[in-house]
Amino acid sequence: MARLGDILVRRGYITPAQLDAALAAQGAERGVLGQLLLRRNLISGQQLGDALSEQYGVPYLDLVPQSVNPQIARLVPENLARHRSCVPVGVGSGALRLAMASPDDIDTISETELITGYRVEPLVALEHAIQAALDRGFDDRLTARQTIVDMKLADLAAAELVVDESLLATVGADEEQAPVVRLVTSILTGAINAGCSDIHLEPHVPEMRVRYRVDGELQSVMTIPNHTEEAVVARIKVMADMDTTENRRPQDGRLTLVEAGGRVNFRVSTIPTVGGEKVVMRLLDEGGKNFDLKSLGLGDRDLKKVLDLIDKPHGMIVVTGPTGSGKSTTMYSVLARLNAVSRNIVTVEDPVEYRLTGINQIASDSEHGLGFANALKYIMRQDPDVIMVGEIRDNETASTSVQAALTGHLLISTLHTNDSVGAVQRLNDLGIDNFKIAGALLGSVAQRLLRSICTECKEIAQPNEQLWAKLVGDVAPPNRAKFYRGRGCKKCLGTGYSGRIPIYEILVMTPELGDAIERGAPASKLREIAIKQGLLTLADAGIEQVFAGRTTLEEVYYKLSS
């Protein structure tokens, strides 16, 4: 068998001098030659994989941990898989595709064939990717995965399963253990334990796919056999008090689960697709939410700006950013700060996600004359001090909101714009005159949520020079600046990220900005004025978090360019 170093040199991936230096360093540094070269950024993962494929004479698999079905990964016992650095990645036609760090390990192949009854087709993969796939496949937090396996193995007579809604609606003590009931409960509790924000159940052939949105990213969790798909959807509808006989139109509902002594609410939405009904559930953990401005992640500089804005007796404050950027949490935190016996605070929301004691919350309902614009007109007759409008999306809502801000009320709302300056252009696009915008707008808060580097597998990394240039320009990074990444581990399910951190761009209205808005100055000119007056852009705020070792350049660029 050819040596790996010789293959890498022959392919032109490294020079003989680099190979000699790496071999000399093997005594002092951990790891085999390939891993050492990777750490030094002398070769890419693909180049190492191609060389290993040639060395062992088997195909190379660029293994993505999230693509490995956990049910397949569990076909081999965990101890064996970890000790031998192998993971099953697929089965078919009587064969099991086994990703291996050492595909010439005949003992591992023989033992796997004996355990599984499949003929093994070895593939070569990088060891860290194999371990990450195993971490994800044997993650005990998402217990619903094993429930799926149990369901497939159990004799449920499921091929002929007919959903009996009356049975599902009246679950008794014995029926609580029914597989479908246990499965739905497992999906809900698994989402809570995983820190998930949304659950997606998507009908596909041959199986329904279940995904969790964790830290803003969707992750595949399991698949549900098609013959139980209808029963699962029906069970969720029963729990959410929805019409189980209607599957041709969208429905909305709400369910509550008591978990570990706490109550977690789920907002449920169903919609018909060509493959069946798609279900999305949003977790609303009211007990776990702490709407406190100081706990949002605002730095001292940004916190002072926000406090100064909301201390004003009247005017408009808008929070901007794409869906999922944390706008609602920011607005609820502002309302919680303003909440006092001396203030009449009224909101109109679509829907009301969290209920705040002491605040009058109205659910927007266009069918009954309570759309944002109409509701706002009625609220104005209720002697409000502070008004929160869930979103400004049309001319009527924008006009009424600006009028409220100009007539002695503090109004807080959201706009879908990319940055803080874009709020001015958006209001203008909605038909608001520039002089009214200048008179009403107190400030604009743009924000994003960035995934945070996992603390368990955090390591120093080389910065991506192209992304640095796109974010910062020609300015070189400071000499002492360190960049980090997450290698991928069990805690972060192989993603390298765990949790999220916010970044903010806060535009505070000044006389000079107001004059420029009245003159109809373009957004580029407004941004130039704001930066001169101390505006910290989202890109700058993101780079601050990179230098602090909390996130990566890749994450900043991805969130600001999407």
pLDDT value of residue 226: 81
What is the domain extent for residue 225? 176-284
Residues 46 and 117 grouped into a single domain: yes
- Which among 260, 284, 308 is the end of a domain? 284
Residues 298 and 265 grouped into a single domain: no
Q: Which two tokens stand for residue 516?
A: 């420029």
- Which among 242, 266, 284 is the end of a domain? 284
Choose the weakest-confidence range: 29-33, 90-94, 292-296: 29-33
Choose the weakest-confidence range: 280-289, 340-349, 410-419, 543-552: 280-289
pLDDT tens for each residue of 36-57? 888 778 888 889 999 999 999 9
Distance CA(186)–CA(165), nearest Å, equals 20
pLDDT tens for each residue of 395-438? 999 999 999 999 999 999 999 899 999 999 999 999 999 999 99
* % the chain with pLDDT above 70: 89
Q: Contact at 8 Å (CB) between 268 and 253?
A: yes
Residues 420 and 396 grouped into a single domain: yes
Residues 273 and 346 grouped into a single domain: no
- pLDDT tier, 258 (very low <50, low <70, confident <90, very high otherwise): confident
Beta bridge partners of 444: 318, 507
Which residue would you say has higher pLDDT here, 523 or 153? 523
- pLDDT tier, 176 (very low <50, low <70, confident <90, very high otherwise): very low
pLDDT value of residue 321: 92
- pLDDT tier, 370 (very low <50, low <70, confident <90, very high otherwise): confident
pLDDT value of residue 217: 85
Burial class (CB within 10 angstroms; exposed 0-12, middle 13-18, buried 19+) of 301? exposed
**Dihedrals phi, psi of 460, to nearest 5 degrees:** -70, 140
Question: What is the domain-level CATH number for residue 14?
Answer: 3.30.300.160
Question: What is the domain-level CATH number for residue 433?
Answer: 3.40.50.300
Distance CA(210)–CA(433), nearest Å, equals 47
Q: Contact at 8 Å (CB) between 232 and 208?
A: yes
pLDDT value of residue 126: 92
- pLDDT tier, 531 (very low <50, low <70, confident <90, very high otherwise): very high
Q: What are the respective helix, strand and coil percentages of the chain, to the nearest 5?
A: 40, 25, 35
Q: How far is CA 432 from CA 201, 402, 542, in A?
A: 41, 8, 32
* % the chain with pLDDT above 90: 49
Choose the weakest-confidence range: 69-78, 158-167, 393-402: 158-167
Note whether residue 151 is domain-resident. no
Residues 517 and 368 grouped into a single domain: yes
Please calculate the CA angle 359-365-370 and round it to the nearest 5 degrees.
Answer: 75
Long-range contacts of 286-292 (CB under 8 A, 24+ apart): 286/354, 286/355, 287/262, 287/263, 288/262, 288/264, 289/329, 289/332, 289/354, 291/329, 291/332, 291/333, 291/335, 291/336, 291/354, 291/356, 292/333, 292/336, 292/337
Note whether residue 544 is domain-resident. no
Instruction: Check pLDDT > 70 for residue 158.
Output: no
pLDDT value of residue 172: 42
- pLDDT tier, 33 (very low <50, low <70, confident <90, very high otherwise): confident
Note whether residue 476 is domain-resident. no
Note whether residue 475 is domain-resident. no
Q: Contact at 8 Å (CB) between 224 and 148?
A: yes
pLDDT value of residue 132: 87
Instruction: Check pLDDT > 60 for residue 220.
Output: yes
Residues 234 and 125 grouped into a single domain: no
Residues 315 and 352 grouped into a single domain: yes
User: How many independent structural domains does the chain possess?
Assistant: 3
Note whether residue 167 is domain-resident. no
Residues 104 and 51 grouped into a single domain: yes
Residues 255 and 331 grouped into a single domain: no
pLDDT tens for each residue of 186-198? 888 888 877 888 9
Q: What is the mean pLDDT of residues 296-320?
A: 93
Note whether residue 540 is domain-resident. no
- pLDDT tier, 143 (very low <50, low <70, confident <90, very high otherwise): very low
Q: Which two tokens stand for residue 84?
A: 């031998």
Note whether residue 144 is domain-resident. no
3-state class of 108 per DSSP? helix
Residues 255 and 305 grouped into a single domain: no
Residues 267 and 308 grouped into a single domain: no
Q: What is the mean pLDDT of residues 530-550?
A: 94
pLDDT tens for each residue of 244-255? 989 889 999 999
pLDDT value of residue 535: 94
Indicate the average pLDDT of the chain: 86
Q: What is the mean pLDDT of residues 515-538?
A: 94
pLDDT value of residue 167: 39
Note whether residue 405 is domain-resident. yes
Residues 248 and 316 grouped into a single domain: no
Instruction: Check pLDDT > 50 for residue 168.
Output: no
Q: What is the mean pLDDT of residues 261-269?
A: 84
Question: What is the domain-level CATH number for residue 238?
Answer: 3.30.450.90
pLDDT value of residue 473: 84
- Which among 225, 252, 284 is the end of a domain? 284
pLDDT value of residue 316: 97
Tokens 């049975």 map to which residue?
A: 167
